[in-house]
Amino acid sequence: MNMRAKNTRETITRASALPFAETYKPCDTDQLEKFIDRLITSGHGWSDEITDFLTISNGFFYNGIYVYSLGSDETPDFMDMITANLQWDIADRLPGCVMFGRSDEEVYVYNQPENKFQILDLTGWDEYYAFDTMNELLEFVISERI
């Protein structure tokens, strides 16, 4: 299956058709703004692309790939973005970044100071890959698992 998509909505639509993929109802806009403010004021970065993703599907799971939700009662607690960022102390460990997902021993991070989406090693925090957009990162990781 070719995952090349023009935008996040198309990527999520295609990915949701994969066997065992899970998408969720969109994040409530008011709730989303509160969570974004909370993350930013605690030293995390943010991207409008993450906002766009969450307004389409508040989280995503496929074949070991997790894109975190914000304040969802549909997803398990370990898929919550705020919980994950606090647990891994991302604001101190990676200033200006926000961890928005993971798979196996990799984490997905938006690095606001460098304006890039990264796949980092979970233990050494070394960069494996960098992308200009969240959509490119998602296409890459999903295509690897099809």
Residue 118: pLDDT band with limits 50, 70, 90: very high
Q: Does 3.40.1580.10 match the CATH number of domain 8-145?
A: yes
DSSP 8-state class, residue 27: P
pLDDT in tens, 67-100: 999 988 888 878 999 999 999 999 999 999 999 9
Amino acid sitting at position 46: W
CA within 13 Å, CB half, 35: 25
Could you tell me what percent of the chain has a pLDDT over 90?
Answer: 86
Residues 6+ apart with CB under 8 A from 11: 3, 5, 135, 138, 139, 142
Average pLDDT over residues 16-27: 94
Average pLDDT over residues 122-139: 96
Give the span between the Cα atoms of 128 and 118, in whole angstroms. Answer: 7
List the structure tokens of 48: 């409008």
Q: Indicate the domain borders of the chain.
A: 8-145
pLDDT value of position 76: 80
